[in-house]
Amino acid sequence: MKIGNFEINGYAALAPMAGVADRAFRELCIEFDASYVVTEMVSSKGLTMHDRKSGTLMQLGETEKPAAVQIFGCDPQTMAEAAKKAAETGCCAIDINMGCPAPKIAGNGGGSALMKDPDLAARITEAVVKAVDIPVTVKFRSGWDENSINAVEFALLQEKAGASTITVHGRTRKQMYAPPVNLDIIKQVKDAVKIPVIGNGDIVDASSAENMYKTTGCDFVMVGRGALGAPWVFRQINEYFRSGIILPDPPIEERMAVMLRHIEKLCEYKGDYVGMREARKHSGWYIKGIRGAAALRQEIGSLETMEQLRAIAEKVISASVNN
């Protein structure tokens, strides 16, 4: 698939998940063959006010190509100025968040709230497109709620405004992340526009990726929560589409080694204090479903050092061997 003037090889991209898709996780997913990554959402207001945290969120590593920086906000001019700053990172595209369901984002007019005002959303995209010389992409949902499914209308306006590619998460804002994912609305969008469409929602393995492709006819798929504690999902999806082989999940020892490497990266980029506190949620995802995991939840919830995490990894490995 091509986005503007750059090409994406492979079959699956990493979604822009706030609090998760940071540099450490993006780099790890790329190691496991993620074809394209998008940063956590960055506040347009924060960027234009030179907020240091906002700037940090969009820092890209040398291995992160192709990568997009995602920005959010509801004022066209502010979004345009933020896009210029984001483009300075060397990213391949600017992605506009019009799908985040979080109350603190949507409640201030950004994210999925823009689905209630398609004309404003189009003006934002048009302003960003004019501000930068790299492709602009847009991620949005099926609609605000079940009574306002407007993804097709929204997509057509985004295409007219100059978006190079659109990503559709097949849920309404009201659904948040509850089932079901509406694949039919993604298909309707794909049938309506000429620009590439990326399908998003409940892709957790090769089978669900194949179903998204076949059911919707989308040009690419984006994996979000399906990659939590399982960055190897990208390698599994790619291998299946290339050879028809379904790779098993890595053995417990390898899963724990990946977890430790992930958290080491977190600490390298964010410092031990922040890194180890963020390690608590990531570690919980890595051991999910593994024998003996439930008994380790309390230890994980109070993680403070890599030594503690290594000890937990050893316990997980020992429990799997002994059983």
Same-domain check for residues 99 and 59: yes
Instruction: Please count the structural domains in the chain.
Output: 2
Res 322 pLDDT > 90: no
Q: What is the CATH number of the domain that holds 37?
A: 3.20.20.70
Same-domain check for residues 296 and 266: yes
Q: Whole-angstrom Cα distance, residue 240 to residue 203?
A: 14
Q: Whole-angstrom Cα distance, residue 85 to residue 55?
A: 9
- Whether 259 and 285 have beta carbons less than 8 Å apart is answered as no
- Whether 63 and 29 have beta carbons less than 8 Å apart is answered as no
Confidence of residue 323 (pLDDT cuts 50, 70, 90): low
By the 10 Å C-beta count (0-12 exposed, 13-18 middle, 19+ buried), 179 is classed as: exposed
Same-domain check for residues 210 and 278: no
Q: What is the CATH number of the domain that holds 258?
A: 1.10.1200
Q: Whole-angstrom Cα distance, residue 170 to residue 211?
A: 13
Same-domain check for residues 221 and 282: no
Same-domain check for residues 310 and 236: no
Question: End of a domain among 198, 218, 243?
Answer: 243
Same-domain check for residues 183 and 41: yes
Res 225 pLDDT > 80: yes
By the 10 Å C-beta count (0-12 exposed, 13-18 middle, 19+ buried), 27 is classed as: buried
Tell me which residue of 284, 277, 268, 321 sits closest to 302, measured CA to CA: 277
Q: Whole-angstrom Cα distance, residue 67 to residue 95?
A: 10
Q: Whole-angstrom Cα distance, residue 150 to residue 90?
A: 33
Per cent of the chain over pLDDT 90 is: 88
Q: How far is CA 24 from the centre of its chain?
A: 13
Handedness of CA 189, 191, 195, 201 (dihedral sign): positive
Res 292 pLDDT > 80: no
pLDDT value for 290: 84
Beta bridge partners of 42: 71
Query: What average pLDDT does range 62-70 have in this prediction?
Result: 93
Annotated catalytic residue: which of 91, 100, 218, 267? 100
Full DSSP string of 287-298 = TTTSTTHHHHHH
Q: Tens digits of per-residue pLDDT, 268-279?
A: 999 999 999 999
Same-domain check for residues 93 and 186: yes
Q: How far is CA 152 from CA 115, 148, 183, in A?
A: 11, 11, 13
Per cent of the chain over pLDDT 70 is: 99
Res 52 pLDDT > 70: yes
Question: End of a domain among 194, 224, 243?
Answer: 243
Active site residue 29: no
Res 219 pLDDT > 70: yes
Query: What average pLDDT does range 247-264 have in this prediction?
Result: 96
Question: End of a domain among 224, 243, 262?
Answer: 243
Same-domain check for residues 226 and 266: no
Residues 6+ apart with CB under 8 A from 295: none
The tokens describing 4, both together, are 């503007």
The range of the structural domain enclosing residue 116 comes to 2-243
Q: Tens digits of per-residue pLDDT, 13-51?
A: 999 999 999 999 999 999 999 999 999 999 999 999 988
Same-domain check for residues 75 and 193: yes
Res 319 pLDDT > 90: no
- Whether 9 and 220 have beta carbons less than 8 Å apart is answered as no
Same-domain check for residues 15 and 44: yes
Res 246 pLDDT > 90: yes
Query: What average pLDDT does range 112-138 have in this prediction?
Result: 97
Same-domain check for residues 165 and 280: no
Helix (H) or strand (E) holding 313: helix 306-322
Same-domain check for residues 114 and 233: yes
pLDDT value for 320: 74
Q: Whole-angstrom Cα distance, residue 323 to residue 65?
A: 42
Among 2-11, 110-119, 284-293, name the one with the lowest average pLDDT.
284-293
Res 131 pLDDT > 90: yes
- Whether 167 and 137 have beta carbons less than 8 Å apart is answered as yes
